[in-house]
Amino acid sequence: MKHPSSIITIIALLGFGLTLSAAYWQFKRADYKRDLESRFITMQARDTLSLNENIDLSLDLEFQRVEVRGTLDASKRMVLDNRIRRGQAGYEVLVPLSISESNAIILLNLGWIPRGRSLGQLPDIDMPKDPVLVTGTAVKPGLGALELSEVTIEGDIWQNLDLARYRLVHSIAVLDYVVQVDSVEGVTTNFERVWSDPSFGIETHLSYAGQWILFNFLILFLYIYYGFIKQQRDA
C-alpha cells in the first residue's frame, strides 16, 4: 500500500495546524468582542459619572457616560479629515479640555461637520473661553482611516487619531480617552452628534472561523483522498 511522501505529509500537517490555529484565534476574538459588547451595554446603563468628582486615573472609563466641566483650548484642536456620513465627506473636530480643579486634560470629539467647498477649508468654530459643562461618552480611540501616504498631519488636519502623536505634537498629557460629546455649553457651531454604537464584528470573526475550519477539513480530505484512496484505486 502506497503512502503520501514525507514532504506531502509535512505540508499537509503544517496546513492543518495553521488553519486550525487561525480558526481558534478567530473564536477567541469573537469571545473577546462578546465581552466588550457586554461591557458596553453595562457601562451605558450606569449613571453618568462626573469626572470633576471622580478623576481617578486608574478607573476604566471605556463606554462610561460622563459629564465634565473645564476649559477648552482651541489652539490645540485636531481636525480629523475624510469622515463620511450619508455619502458626504466632512470633518470631526477634537479639542482638549482642561478639567476644572485638576491637572488632567481630556480630548473632546465635538462632532461632525460637512467639508467646505474647497478641499482643506477648515471649519470656523467659536470656542468659549469660560469653563463649559460637557456631557458625552468616554471611548478609547480605535484604528483610524487607511492612510494612503506617509503625510498624516497637515496643520490642524489629521488623517487618523493617534493620541501618542498628538501628545508629542502639542506637548500635553491628555488622558487615554476621548469624550464623544452629546452636549457642550457655549459652542454654537451646528455639529452633528449622532454617535453610532460601536461595531464589535462578532459575526465577522465567527464567519472567518468557519472558513478556516472548512479549509482545515479540505486539507484533511485532499490528503486522505489523494494520499490513500486514489492511490489504492490506481494500484
In contact, 206 and 24? CB cutoff 8 Å: no
55-105: per-residue pLDDT in tens? 776 778 889 999 999 999 988 988 888 788 888 888 889 999 999 988 899
> In the chain, what are the helix, strand and coil shares in percent, each to the nearest 5?
35, 25, 35
Domain assignments of the chain as residue spans, ordered by start: 6-36+202-234, 64-184
- Is the model's pLDDT at 43 over the cut of 80? yes
pLDDT digits (tens, 9 = 90+) for 180-210: 999 998 887 788 888 877 777 889 999 999 9
Confidence band of 144 (pLDDT split at 50, 70, 90)? very low
Assess whether pLDDT exceeds 90 at residue 116.
Answer: no
Is the pTM higher than 0.85? no
Question: Which is it for strands 49-50 and 65-72: parallel, antiparallel or unpaired?
Answer: parallel
Nine-digit cell string for 43? 457601562
Whether pLDDT at 173 is above 60: yes
**Contacts (Cβ under 8 Å, ≥6 apart) of 184:** 108, 110, 132, 133, 134, 135
Reduced to 3 states, what is the DSSP secondary structure of residue 17?
Answer: helix
Q: Which residue has the higher pLDDT, 173 or 231?
A: 173
Residue 142 pLDDT level (bands cut at 50, 70, 90): low
